[in-house]
Structure 1
Amino acid sequence: MALSYKARRRVALLVLLVGLPIYILVASVLATTIAPDSVLVTLLLYVGLGIVWILPFKSVFKGIGQADPDAPKQRFDDDP
């Protein structure tokens, strides 16, 4: 089932405002408990976790920055 443009915008906003801060907390706790004292391994873990969070939400965020494709087209016939 495909989400409408407005529903995708709402889900994207929810993910960014609620889901991402929770993911950041979980990722930082995970990184501090799993990662050894090596700075390079910790950096790679943070970079990997920073990329992994977006993969499930790729379809939700795709095209959000563009105009609503379902909105009626405005015509400007009266150009001065």
Structure 2
Amino acid sequence: MALTYKTRRRLSALILLVGLPVYIVLALSIVTWMGRPPIFVELLVYLVLGVLWALPFKYVFRGVGQADPDEDQ
């Protein structure tokens, strides 16, 4: 099932406004659970987690900032 542009736009806003803050708290909890590792390990964990959250939503975010392709001209 293909998502329409309007649905992808709403879903991306929901992900950014609700899902991302929850993911940030989760990432901070993971690093806290590790017990303050060395700075390079901590940086690596944040970099990996910072990229990892976007991979499942790559299709949802694709083309959202552009003009609506379904709109009649």
TM-score, normalising length: structure 1: 0.87
Greater share of residues in helix: 2
Where has structure 1 moved over 3 Å in runs of 4 or more? none
Aligned residues: 73
| RMSD (Å) for aligned C-alpha atoms | 1.0
CA offsets 1:15-57 (integer angstroms, 9 cap, x no match): 0000000000001101121265310000000010000000000
Q: Give the alignment's TM-score, normalised by structure 2.
A: 0.95
Q: Kindly name which structure, 1 or 2, has the bigger radius of gyration based on alpha carbons.
A: 1
Higher relative contact order (CA 8 A, sep 6+): 2
Aligned-residue sequence identity (percent) comes to: 53
Q: 1:5 to 1:43 in 2, by over 3 A?
A: same
5+ residue gaps, structure 2: none
5+ residue gaps, structure 1: 74-80
